[in-house]
Structure 1
Amino acid sequence: MTLALPTPTEADSALVRTAGWALARHGFVHAYGHCSLRLDARHFLVSPATPLGLVGVDEACSVVGLDGPLPEGVLGEVRIHREIYRRRPEVNGVVRSMPPKAMTLGTLRLTPKPRHGMGSYFAPKPPLWDDPQLLRSDEQAAALAETLGDARAILMRGNGVVTAGTSLKEAVVLTRFLEDACRIELECLTSGLADQGAVLDADEACERATWSGRIMDRMWDYLTRPPTRA
């Protein structure tokens, strides 16, 4: 007996589309990348199998169950989302993206240290998935989710990043924060002074990694505001 899938609300679908447009507009995804939000304990809603910047205003997203095969037409790497949701009940949003600074740092087999405010959210530093291949099997996706553990993000060597948040908004904002942390790390390395630079200790990072003061909401508003037209 096949159980009926939940029907997402228009607000859920609009949020996924909006998140995708923002990720594309700010250069965190291009032809590749996807995002999702949890609908309930056993299902999530994922963006269309279309470049996120090209998703239509009424284009349908796909409901995916945590059990059984991926639905027809859903991208293979959506398995990553599924494995994270299976292991992390507090996660309600996942972003798979290709930010350029993170891509560069990951090819060096490095992840950013918490050197500034945005980097504090990933202290002591994000884990690295040290494999450049596409994740097209359940076994690969499960192994990546295990490597992620309870972290907010993971860098994939030469293959982008995944962020996991308590909401899709948080996962998108964390993508922006992670890219900035990677930028800072690369610039410190380029300067030749990285070993002399400050790194937040555990207490400093814990205190700084706050969402109070509408930190997430202000960044979300910035990322999702449509470009102004002359």
Structure 2
Amino acid sequence: MIDDLAIRQREVRLLARACDRAGLTTAYGHCSVRLDAASFLVCAPKPMGLITPSDEGSVVRLDAPLPDGVLGEVRMHREVYRLRPDANAIVRFISPSILALAALGRTPRPRHGFGAYFSAQVPFWPDPNLVRNDAAAEGVARTMGMSPGIVVSVNGAVVAGADAAQALTLAIFLEDAARIELAVLQAGCGDQPALTEEQCAARATWAGRVAERQWDYWTAQDAERTAVHGVAGT
């Protein structure tokens, strides 16, 4: 019988490769899922698209330093999990439109359906240095607050979801919101109003298998695709 950790290992691998297929990352980035109130599982420290079925992630405790071999910026995962009991999966990714906006010191505004999931505006961590110390990681998590995501200056973004499918979906939606924001700015219409908080609240639904359909789509060709703890993958 497959144990729970083995199931979670497979889930993290599926999430990692889905992020790569969705164009969210190349050589850099990482993802994780919460195991329990005290620990989480982060993917193997290699390009997410190159993670194989034999690659196992590392268990990280919330009350301890990072284990040997775990990438330094995984501190951000740890601090978000500490502050956000609602977060059960995290994706740290570096995508083209997010980076272009960050270079302007901007984050996406909610201008279309996908952007509505980030009501008001996505928080921005202004320090361009890599987040490889505990103080910076805690600062990122506190700046993120209860937002689904944060842009980490010119180093990409972090999103937190209720499960792996939702974290993947939020990462895809955030990159698309950045794409739309860039198009609006290029058209010289940056001062046009975005969706209101009320409009965002009405539009940003998870009903209708919104996250599950993204998961189905981006894991469809994955050799390890399977049903994992309620995450669609038939």
TM-score by length of 2: 0.91
TM-superposed CA distance for 1:169, in Å, is 1.6
Deviations 1:180-226 (A, max 9, x none): 10000000000112323x52111110000001111111112112222
CA deviations 1:21-52 (Å, max 9, x no partner) are 01112221111100000000000000001111
1:128 and 1:9 map into 2 onto residues whose CA distance is 34
Name the structure 2 match of 1:154.
150
Matches within 5 A, 1:47-66: 47-66=43-62
1:38 counterpart = 2:34: yes
> C-alpha separation between the residues in 1 aligned to 2:4 and 2:58?
9
Residues paired across the two proteins, number: 220
- Does the residue aligned with 2:107 lie in a helix, a strand or coil? coil
Aligned Cα RMSD in Å?
A: 1.2
Which runs of 5 or more residues in structure 2 are unaligned? 223-234
Q: Which residue of 1 aligns with 2:88?
A: 92
**Residues of 2 paired with 1:26 and 1:87: CA distance?**
28
Matched, 1:208 2:217: no
Tell me which of 6, 15, 24 is aligned to 1:28: 24
In the alignment, structure 1 residue 138 sits paired with structure 2 residue 169:
no
Letter paired with 2:167: A
SS at match of 1:140: helix
User: Helix, strand or coil for the counterpart of 1:70?
Assistant: coil
SS in 2 for 1:135: coil
Identity %: 46
CA distance in 1, matches of 2:47, 2:154: 19
The residue aligned with 2:226 is none
* In 2: Cα distance, 1:146 partner to 1:9 partner: 29
Q: 1:164 aligns with which of 160, 167, 171?
A: 160
Residues in 1 aligned to 2:28 and 2:187: alpha-carbon distance in whole angstroms: 32
Q: Which amino acid aligns with 2:206?
A: W
Q: In structure 1, how many angstroms separate the alpha carbons of the residues matched to 2:162 and 2:48?
A: 21
Supply the distance in 2 between the matched residues of 1:44 and 1:72 (Cα, whole angstroms). Answer: 15
* 1:8 to partner: Cα distance: 4.8
Aligned twin of 1:219: 214
Question: Which residue of structure 1 lines up, in the alignment, with residue 71 of structure 2?
Answer: 75
Decide whether the 8 Å contact of 2:140 with 2:152 is kept in 1.
no
Give me the whole-angstrom Cα distance separating, in 1, the residues matched to 2:209 and 2:52.
30
Is the partner of 1:204 in helix, strand or coil? helix
